[in-house]
Amino acid sequence: MSVSERIALNKELCGLLGIPWHEVVDEDADLMYCSCGEMGGDINGFEVHCNRLNPDFTTEAGRVQLSKIMWKRKDFDKFLREQINGSYWLELEEYIERYVNDDNGAFAIAARDYLKQQKGGINEKS
């Protein structure tokens, strides 16, 4: 997965989950404005701001964060059943290998696709 694909995936997931995404939305000669409303004049400071606040659900820590978010949803069991087609115990090892140990965004992609099917995902939180 390229950097631009990873960023697009994370940005889309944030939108589906109702999590703010930070990026420069306007800049003039001296100031830049973030989508969160913060402003500043240093592009390096803005890159640090955005990188620190934007989640990356393709990393190990990001998968844990996304798992916790998905776990809190009232339809988490439905999501999990759709990912494990068949016997839970027989396919648990395959699930872990496919989603938990994968560093290529497979779990984030599965969550995004599921949330898109649920018409945005935000309304299904418990």
Give 62-85 pLDDT, tens digit per residue. 999 998 999 999 988 888 777 766
Q: Convert the pLDDT of each residue in 105-120 to its tens digit.
A: 888 998 999 999 887 5
Q: From CA 11, how far away is CA 24, in angstroms rounded?
A: 13
Tokens of 124: 């299904």
Q: Convert the pLDDT of each residue in 36-60 to its tens digit.
A: 888 777 777 777 888 889 999 999 9
- pLDDT category at 91 given cuts 50, 70, 90 is low
- Supply the pLDDT for residue 50: 83
H or E stretch covering 106: helix 106-117
- Supply the pLDDT for residue 87: 57
Mean pLDDT of 17-21: 92
Helix 106-117 with 60-71: angle, nearest 10 deg: 30
Tokens of 15: 């939108």
- pLDDT category at 126 given cuts 50, 70, 90 is very low
- Supply the pLDDT for residue 123: 47
Higher-pLDDT residue of 27 and 64 is 64
pLDDT of 9 strictly over 90: yes
pLDDT of 18 strictly over 50: yes
